[in-house]
Amino acid sequence: MKRLMDFVLSTVLLLIASPILLLFMLLVWLQDFQSPFYRAPRVSRGGGTFTMMKLRSMVVGADKTGVNSTAQNDMRVTRVGHLIRRFKLDELTQLLNVFVGDMSLVGPRPNTRAWGVDLYTPEEMRLLTVRPGITDFSSIVFSDEGDILKGHANADLAYNQLIRPTKSRLGLFYIDHQSIWLDIALIVLTALAIVSKPAALAGVTRILTKLNAPADLVRIAARTESLVPMPPPGASTIAS
């Protein structure tokens, strides 16, 4: 049922989004006359590798700088790229991955291998038991990832200390409670977050509370408090 919903909705959404995608593909190409797509290697369900399609928001060769996490003030992001990231247009092209079955509309976000899955604890490895998704709880909670990492000298370290612990916990919580109705709710809240993130966060906390999530996870997901360094699931020490 989930795969059928993914196939049908990705087809419909690709048709609806095609005019916007074509416009921004042209704008990206006009910047430097290079491909408007970034083909990102990501770890798939089961630990394999697939190519995630993204509308390119950075300069060509940005992935060769050795930095994986992106802050809002990252100089590698182009002028058009800031618009692409602001409205999550780079994720629209991932509907192609959903269409062919590499990804699902809803599921834990796909990760890189180096500085990503290679750092997973045994508990986090459970994130690879389902298809990665375009959106999930953490996509809404940390939609301002660039702002969170802004100003940190080491964006990758800040990501692993401030974002990864809760992001992984939310991904594991989704796996344990996944359903078609939860998927539909998260898709609606993802769209709502573009218009009003506070309203989307309120929806996330309601769902987490209804599903009896741990109180501290609900509190962090509400994003009313400053994020503090925490160990990832299954670890006793903070990443360093």
pLDDT digits (tens, 9 = 90+) for 141-177: 999 998 899 888 898 899 999 999 999 999 999 999 9
Which is more confident, 154 or 129? Answer: 129
| Whole-number pLDDT of residue 63 | 65
| Whole-number pLDDT of residue 62 | 64
Contact of 117 with 168, CB cutoff 8 Å: no
Contact of 69 with 156, CB cutoff 8 Å: yes
In this structure, the strands spanning 133-135 and 49-55 are unpaired
pLDDT digits (tens, 9 = 90+) for 194-205: 899 999 999 999
Of the candidates 141, 202, 140, which has an alpha carbon nearest to the alpha carbon of residue 210?
Answer: 202
Of the candidates 203, 172, 48, which has an alpha carbon nearest to the alpha carbon of residue 107?
Answer: 172
| Whole-number pLDDT of residue 70 | 55
The residue behind tokens 């916007």 is 20
Whole-number Å distance between alpha carbons of 94 and 209: 30
| Whole-number pLDDT of residue 150 | 85
Give the percent of the chain with pLDDT over 90: 75
Contacts with 191 (C-beta within 8 Å, 6 or more apart), sequence order: none
| Whole-number pLDDT of residue 68 | 58
| Whole-number pLDDT of residue 13 | 94
DSSP code of residue 114? T
| Whole-number pLDDT of residue 126 | 98
pLDDT digits (tens, 9 = 90+) for 41-97: 999 999 999 999 989 888 876 666 555 555 555 678 888 888 888 787 888 899 999
- One-letter amino acid for residue 125 of the chain: M
pLDDT digits (tens, 9 = 90+) for 95-122: 999 999 999 999 999 999 988 999 999 9
pLDDT digits (tens, 9 = 90+) for 218-237: 999 999 999 999 999 999 99
| Whole-number pLDDT of residue 117 | 96
| Average pLDDT score over residue span 210-219 | 98
- Quote the radius of gyration of the chain (alpha carbons, Å): 17
| Whole-number pLDDT of residue 79 | 85
Contact of 113 with 73, CB cutoff 8 Å: no
**What are the phi and psi torsion angles at 93 (to 5°)?**
-65, -20
**Measured between alpha carbons, how far is residue 9 from residues 16, 42, 64, 172, 236 in Å?**
10, 22, 34, 24, 41
Whole-number Å distance between alpha carbons of 40 and 150: 23
Contact of 39 with 110, CB cutoff 8 Å: no
